[in-house]
Amino acid sequence: MNNIFHYKIGRPSVSKENKGFLQTLKRLVFIEKLYNTTGIALLAIVGIIMAVGIAFYGVSFGIMLILLITIPPVVYCIVVYPKFGIITLLVMAYLLFVIAQLGIDGPIGTLMDALQVLLVLGVLINVKKDNNDWSIFKSPITTVIFIWLGYNLLEFGNPAASSRLAWIYTIRSVAIVALSYFVFMYNIRSVKYIRVLFILLGVLSFIGAAYGFKQEYIGFNQHEQDYLNSPDIASLLFIDGHWRKFSIFSDPVAFAYNMVMPSIFIICMLTMHIKLWQKIALGVLALFFLDAMLFSGTRGANVLIPGALFLFAILKYNRKILIGTGIAALFILFLINVPTSNPNLRRFQTAFKPNNDDSYNLRKMNQKRIQPYILTHPLGGGLGATGEWGKRFAPGSYLASFPPDSGYIRVAVEQGWIGLILFCTFMFVILKTGINNYYLIENEELKTYCLAMTLIIFAYNLANFPQEALVQFPSNILFYLEAALINITLRLDISLKEKAAKALQLQQTI
């Protein structure tokens, strides 16, 4: 009787010896499943190699051996099963800095680059199988992403750039992350999978918030404490006798923004026709995220919810929304003015009184100081001219010591006023497409998802003014996921309407 492991080996070029070897291999591995002398011998050899290797080279040898065994099937799954790859990418984006905290040395950033490249490779292979059908990517957002990527590539030839090497290091974080948009656009094809992704992101956000509570009320672990003992870090994170918390993220800013964004998503979900207990659970979860956000001490994050609520009230213009938004505005107004000794709440209040804040005034002075440079350099000073890459690759340059602080200021300084115009156009097109799609979509669930993605991207734009909101994991990956979902939700809505129309037509013919 035939079975799935039956092979036809009848070509003249295959010798009888090879036939015998293949049949023996099939019997040992597939039929007996290595539950034999050969299997025991192989396990013994692997065990001896691991024992000797660990004895001479430490635990790192065992980890490397495990990686050598597991990496090939993982790579295969990422390329062949892109939904698995996307989930892996999102989990890695959240847990990237946790891995670093565990003391695992290695090019973790390069690992993320490789993961994204594998996903892009999978897209190219599948598009090739689909007879090079690129129509799925057709969108104004796709066009502006290509224009933005093209401009970043042209920056390599910027005559004002102090270092080409800084461009090479910076373009990785710009181009490779931007390509994830195409991965999401091609592979997210069902409402069910969108739900899976949102549940995953909700769980990861909950872990981040819970760990923030742990840092606030229990304390830091030893690795985190060693990190905080650095004088440069202490000057940034120790404010008014209180440590700013960063949870599982790279810094307090990333922590704060990754608490605000799921809260905005939940606010949108509360407008859906769902059960009362679900609304209560979501509301409690949003408060949990926002409370955790306060531990970060990031004032720029505090204005994002009011800003998102403002656009939310405009887009969903009805009596209930206006009443709810008004109540929220009164509550925020109360928090801004209530007397308190709580350091987190005091820092929250200063976000709405920026002129009384020394750090805000210093940033205004820096931005005023750099304006003549921006106006006289239409292409800017080159990618990577400021910040850490500027200090590393062009330490004596004018821009190396300039603290950009703002995502918009960094773009203006490094890519000039031309780059700033393109970047603002890029953001405008995404928001315009999101608003248009929101009014075109009829399915309530997809309409809510589109609204949430549009509001989150709007919040990212607000956040990008006082801080750099789109440079760290997972925010940079999530930004392109949200941009892609703006298109995907409309595409799925059209597909659902077409199926409904066909079903109705079929019913009428019967």
Q: For 58-176, where are the alpha helices, taking DSSP H only?
A: 59-80, 82-101, 108-129, 140-154, 164-171
Poorest-pLDDT segment among 56-70, 108-122, 331-345, 366-380: 56-70
What pLDDT does residue 203 have? 96
* Domain range list for the chain: 114-502
Helices (H) and strands (E) in the chain, counts: 22, 2
Whether pLDDT at 7 is above 60: no
How many angstroms separate the CA atoms of 394 and 163, rounded? 6
Q: What is the mean pLDDT of the chain?
A: 84
Q: What percentage of the chain exceeds 70 in pLDDT?
A: 88
Whether pLDDT at 15 is above 90: no
Single-letter amino acid, residue 305:
I
Cα 34 → chain centroid:
42
Q: Give 414's contacts (C-beta < 8 A, 6+ positions apart).
A: 155, 380, 381, 382, 383, 384, 385, 386, 399, 404
How many angstroms separate the CA atoms of 152 and 175, rounded? 8
Q: Are 244 and 296 in contact (CB under 8 A)?
A: yes
SS3 state of residue 239: strand
Poorest-pLDDT segment among 31-40, 250-259, 290-299, 414-423: 31-40
- Per-residue pLDDT band for 46 (boundaries 50, 70, 90) equals confident
Q: Give 290's contacts (C-beta < 8 A, 6+ positions apart).
A: 259, 260, 263, 305
- Residues 106-116: pLDDT tens digits? 667 788 888 89
Dig out the tokens for 6 from the structure: 């039956």
Poorest-pLDDT segment among 2-6, 171-175, 193-197, 244-248: 2-6
Nearest to 301 by CA among 371, 358, 267, 350: 350
Cα 479 → chain centroid:
6
- Per-residue pLDDT band for 453 (boundaries 50, 70, 90) equals very high
The two most distant CA atoms of the chain are separated, in Å, by 90
pLDDT mean over 134-143: 92
- Residues 164-223: pLDDT tens digits? 888 888 888 788 899 999 999 999 999 999 999 999 999 999 999 999 999 999 988 888
DSSP string, 440-476: H--SHHHHHHHHHHHHHHHHHHHHTTTS--SSSTTHH
Place of tokens 């995953």: 200
Q: How big is the CA angle at 459 (ends 488 and 384), to the nearest 5 degrees?
A: 95
pTM of this structure? 0.84
User: Which carries the bigger pLDDT value, residue 153 or residue 6?
Assistant: 153
CB atoms within 10 A of CB 207: 15
- Residues 253-273: pLDDT tens digits? 999 999 999 999 999 999 898
Signed CA dihedral, 42, 47, 53, 56: sign only: negative
Whether pLDDT at 374 is above 80: yes
Q: Give 464's contacts (C-beta < 8 A, 6+ positions apart).
A: 406, 407, 408, 470
Place of tokens 């957002």: 141
How many angstroms separate the CA atoms of 496 and 445, rounded? 12
